[in-house]
Structure 1
Amino acid sequence: MSTSHRRGRRPRIPDETADPGIPAEDWKAISVGSTVEVGLTEGHSYVGRIDAKTPDSGVVWVVSSTGLGRQMYSNSDGVRLRPASGQNL
């Protein structure tokens, strides 16, 4: 009798970067083209423009207004997006 093993399939490794203690941000009200302040988990922040987002608003791409380029963020990364001073979402 032989034992069967599925080849090419690896056990799922849990995502250790996801922190279950950080609630997901609700980014549904943020529109593409909005200027936002991006609050990073390290305490730093910068101003940028929402370049694109997924249909469920779970992922956004932000282009920095200070030349940092384009960054992608998930709403469960602990990143906070707020309207930049004097801006509406």
Structure 2
Amino acid sequence: MTLQKNRATSGSAHWDDVQIGDSVQLRRNGHLEHTGRVDNRTADGAVVWVMSDRGNRQLFHVTDGYELAALDAGGSE
């Protein structure tokens, strides 16, 4: 798993290691809140759209307070 914390105070916070199709988890305050696959993202990695297994698509911005974890191909952390 690749963990990317968003640090809004750093001025260069981006989720630029995730790609379309990657399985991801989003945590806030240490709690798992969202899982799914990256459906789309901005070129600068500041915004990702995640499609859940149920087909719900949600937008996340790097300053929303989430830690984004990209899962390996095996789906494990």
Contact 1:50 1:62 in 2 (8 A): yes
More helix by share: 2
Normalised to the residue count of structure 2, the TM-score between the two structures is 0.67
Following superposition, the deviation at residue 41 of structure 1 comes to: 4.9
> Which structure 1 segments of 5+ residues have no match?
1-21
Question: What does 1:1-89 correspond to in 2, within 5 Å?
Answer: 23-24=7-8, 25-41=13-29, 43-65=31-53, 67=54, 69-84=56-71, 86-87=74-75
Larger Cα-atom Rg: 1
Secondary structure of the residue that 1:31 maps to in structure 2?
Answer: coil
Q: 1:68 and 1:42 mapped to 2: Cα distance?
A: 25
Q: Unaligned stretches of 5+ in structure 2?
A: 1-5
The AA in structure 1 aligned to 2:70 is P
Contact 2:25 2:32 in 1 (8 A): no
How many aligned positions are there? 66
Give the secondary-structure state (helix, strand or coil) at the position aligned to 1:76. helix
Name the structure where strand makes up a greater proportion of residues. Answer: 2
Deviates more, 1:75-84 or 1:52-61: 75-84
CA shift for structure 1 position 47: 1.9
Identity level (%): 31
Root-mean-square deviation over aligned CA pairs: 2.6
